[in-house]
Amino acid sequence: MLQRFIGYVLFVPFIIFYSYVLGPVLKAFLVPGGLAILFFILGPEAFLFHWRNARNGQPVVAMTDNISG
The residue with greater pLDDT, 7 or 23, is: 23
Question: In Å, how far from its chain's centre is CA 46?
Answer: 21
Query: Sorting pLDDT into bands at 50, 70 and 90, what band is 59?
Result: low
30-51 tens-digit pLDDT: 999 999 999 999 999 999 999 9
What is the per-residue pLDDT for 4? 87
* Distant-in-sequence, close-in-space partners of 39: CB < 8 Å, separation ≥ 6: 47
> Rounded to two decimals, what is the model's pTM?
0.58
